Amino acid sequence: MKNEYIPYPAEIVSIRKETYDVKTYKLRFSDPKLAESFSYKQGQFVQVSVLGTGEAPISITSSPTRKGFLELTMRATGRITNAIYGMHTGDTVFIRGPYGNSFPFKELKGRDIAFVAGGIGLAPVRSLINFIFDNRHLFGHITILYGAKTPKDICFKDEIKQWAGIRDTSVYVTVDRADETWRENIGVVTSLYPKAGLKGDNSTAVLCGPPVMIKFAARELLNYGFVSDNIIVTLERYMKCGIGKCGHCNIGGLYVCTDGPVFTWKQVGEFPEIENVF
């Protein structure tokens, strides 16, 4: 029987600074066999340990189509994420996983897809975005709507520019508060909907961001003709085990760590009322 709770060493191969408190870490398992065999699906997460400090769930932001390494993007929020923020190339963290369900491939194939992401919420959907671009012919028009608090909070700046250059793809970025350099949209992410010409037919929306953003962004999509089956969100809950045992992430009879973190807006609507998800 495998002991799922044991994490495995992974070396930080490179670090990219995204913002003043967010970095993207490229990791490779120290065991070459594991580095080779580790496979995951877009939308899954891992449990990252700093021995002596603890463990936190972090989404895999790289695409499974790009093999041999793993990318995680983390905001320095608390003990673990700050400990990792202070690490250097060549340092070791400990990883177990991958866990959780994933963005559905079959349901997305052949459709137009609208991504709506806020802040560091772009990290988990980036895995799916790059997966789609690596299989471009299988999908329709791609729209990426991204909102950040200020221009300084925008993650993946270079990549966003790159995406905008891919055929049949539109990218819109907005900030809540602008500075003097900002030339693009100002306002919450839903203010991009009219500009992007969102339409519900043959489209699926994929949302990730802070709870309030998800709530308003999803509700507003309904006004643009999206049905709740075609709105996909990824949820966050406090997690300890990641494998459906510790109980912390439960919502009704479901566990966000194993039944999620990807849910349809329809499923969210069926969550018990006492679970104040947003």
Partner 1 sequence: MLYFIEQTNIKNLIIDLVKRWNVVAPIEQDGKDVLLEKLPESSEKLEKYLGRISLNSKTANKQTLIPPKEIFFPQSELMFTYSTHSTAKKEFKIESPASTTDTDTAKPVLFFGIKPCDYYALNITGSFFKNGFEDFYYLSKSKNYLALIFGCITPPEPESCFCSSAGTGPVLSKEKGQDFDIQFIEENAGGYFVETGTDRGDEFIKANSRYFKDLSDRKSSVKRLKDIKERAFKNIELSVDFEKALTIMEEGARSGDTSTGLLNSVYGKIADRCIYCGSCLYACPTCTCFNIYDSTESTVVASERTFPLNGERVRVWDACVFSGYTREASGHNPRGESYTRAARRYEHKLKYDPAVYGRSSCTGCGRCLTACPVNIGMSTFIREITENHEK
CB of 117 to ligand FES, least distance (A): 23
Q: Which is nearer to ligand FES, 175 or 241 (CB)?
A: 241
Pairing status of strand 22-29 against strand 185-186: unpaired
21 is a site residue for partner 1 (CB under 8 A): no
Q: Secondary structure of 78-141 in the HEC alphabet?
A: CHHHHHHHCCCCCCEEEEEEEECCCCCCCCCCCCEEEEEEEHHHHHHHHHHHHHHHCCHHHCCC
CB of 235 to ligand FAD, least distance (A): 8
**140: phi then psi, degrees, rounded to nearest 5:** -85, -140
Contact (CB, 8 A) for 154 and 123: no
Binding mask 158-197 for partner 1 (x = CB under 8 A): ----------------------------------------
Q: How far is the CB of 47 from ligand FES (least distance, A)?
A: 9
**Least gap, CB of 157 to ligand FAD (angstroms):** 17
State yes or no: residue 103 binds ligand FAD (CB under 6 A): no
Contacts of 9 (CB under 8 A, 6+ apart): 29, 30, 31, 92, 93, 94, 95
Q: Is 43 one of the binding residues for ligand FAD (CB under 6 A)?
A: no
Q: Are the C-beta atoms of 93 and 72 separated by less than 8 Å?
A: no
Binding test (CB under 8 A) with partner 1, winner from 69, 94, 105, 182: 94
- Dihedral class, residue 267 (left if φ above 0, else alpha if ψ from -120 to 50, else beta): alpha
By CB under 8 A, tell whether 33 contacts partner 1. Answer: no
Interacting residues of 243 by C-beta distance below 8 A, sequence separation 6+: 4, 99, 257, 258
Q: Which of 13, 28, 82, 170 binds partner 1 (CB under 8 A)?
A: 82
Binding site for ligand FAD (CB under 6 A): 45, 54, 56-59, 73-75, 77-81, 120, 123-124, 236-237, 239, 261
Binding site for partner 1 (CB under 8 A): 1-7, 9, 30, 50-56, 77-79, 81-83, 85-88, 90-94, 210-211, 236-238, 240-241, 243-248, 250-253, 258, 272-277
